[in-house]
Amino acid sequence: LNLNNARFETSAVKPEQYPAEDIPEVAFVGRSNVGKSSLINVLLNRKNLARTGSVPGKTRVINFYNIDGCIRFADLPGYGYANVSKKEQLVWGKMADTYLNTRKQLKLLMMVVDIRHLPSELDIMMYEWIKGSGLPHVIAASKADKISRSQTGKMIKDISSVLEITEGTELIPFSAVSRAGREELWKAIERGVASCSS
């Protein structure tokens, strides 16, 4: 898998706009501002391929990234951002919902949670959906650089317990600053997307 061949493919708000070519897809889900786009950049060794920002609610469309014609990443709009209208939240929720419920190429879910906080009600709902979907999934606990090593262990335990994570599900501390966790997350991706495991 040649990461130098990673490129932005397209943005979509509805299925007709999703890329047509059938290659395995990894979808990134999580609360707004949790670090989904930053994680994508670190995985792909790019500074700003996926747009990130200090303004939460930046990603208002589904952004697709094609990696070497072999895997596609789908960066979904974050949920739970309070400072937008209810109507807008509904629109984004529906967008992610439609994607998750219809996308045949979806092979792996990468859920991102903030390692500093216990999962919110919406995180729990998201994870319930993931469990129910039966799709392979991995959880990245982002912003690990913001807490100490001893806190990391405790938070991983507490987050696992609040989410009631299933046996064998990986919950990997990650930092977009130190890049800690990047290798483990790639391994999880390669396991989930078997045809691209080179």
Ligand X SMILES: Nc1nc2c(ncn2[C@@H]2O[C@H](COP(=O)(O)OP(=O)(O)OP(=O)(O)O)[C@@H](O)[C@H]2O)c(=O)[nH]1
Q: Which does 176 bind (CB under 5 to 8 A by kind): ligand X, Mg ion, none?
A: ligand X
Which position among 29, 49, 59, 92 is part of the footprint of ligand X (CB under 6 A)?
59
Nearer to ligand X, 119 or 196 (CB): 119
Dihedral angle, C-alpha 167, 109, 48, 185, nearest 10 °: 30
Which position among 66, 142, 173, 193 is part of the footprint of ligand X (CB under 6 A)?
142
End-to-end CA distance of the chain: 6
Nearer to Mg ion, 59 or 66 (CB): 59
Which position among 146, 154, 157, 191 is part of the footprint of ligand X (CB under 6 A)?
146
Question: What minimum distance in Å lies between the beta carbon of 14 and Mg ion?
Answer: 19
Contact 56, 11 (CB under 8 A): no
Of the candidates 3, 34, 24, 6, which has an alpha carbon nearest to the alpha carbon of residue 174?
34
**What residue type is 138 in one-letter code?**
V
Tokens of 28: 């990134």
Nearer to ligand X, 80 or 196 (CB): 80
- The count of other CB atoms within 10 Å of the CB of residue 99 is 22
Nearer to Mg ion, 157 or 179 (CB): 179
Residue 136: helix, strand or coil by DSSP?
A: coil
Q: How do 25-30 and 106-114 pair as beta strands?
A: parallel
Nearer to ligand X, 9 or 145 (CB): 145
Q: Which residues in the 11-30 window bind ligand X by CB under 6 A?
A: 30
Residues forming contacts to Mg ion in the complex (CB under 5 A) are: 37, 59
Residues forming contacts to ligand X in the complex (CB under 6 A) are: 30, 32-38, 52-54, 56-59, 78, 142-143, 145-146, 175-177
